[in-house]
Each structure stands twice: as C-alpha cells, then as structure tokens.
Amino acid sequence: IVTVHWFSERTHEMRAEVADGIADVISKATKAPKDIVRVLFIDVPTSHWSKGGQLVSDYKEPPKYLQKE
C-alpha cells in the first residue's frame, strides 16, 4: 500500500491521475501486476497542515495548485 497524505481540497480527477501514475511506477519498478498496487489517500484539511510554522489555511494566497480556476 502506498499512502499519500495531501490536501483534502484536491479534486477527484487529480486523485485518479495520481493513483494511476503511482500504480504505473510501482508496477514497472517491481514487475508486479498493476492491478495489485494499492494507493491510500489520506485527506488533510489545510487547517491541519503547516509549512514553515504557518498553517496553509492562513496563507494570504493559496498555493497555485489549490486555487480554483
């Protein structure tokens, strides 16, 4: 099982793309069938994540990858 901790604000499409990419890499590196690779996503709200001592939810501007288009 590959565990991914990331912001809960990520989209379903992002989750699907990351899961597929991780399964590809693990399968190629280990020669294991892709369909046995498990990926567990753990969603963490930005209010529960800090960087450099500051909560991400308190950033004046959210990181580009979390901004709504």
Burial of 11 (0-12, 13-18, 19+ CB in 10 A): exposed
Query: What pLDDT, in 10s, does the model give residues 43-52?
Result: 999 899 898 8
Q: What is the pLDDT of residue 22?
A: 98
Q: Which pTM does this prediction carry?
A: 0.77
From first to last of the 69 residues of the chain, give the pLDDT tens digit. 999 999 888 889 999 999 999 999 999 999 999 999 999 999 999 899 898 899 988 988 777 766 666
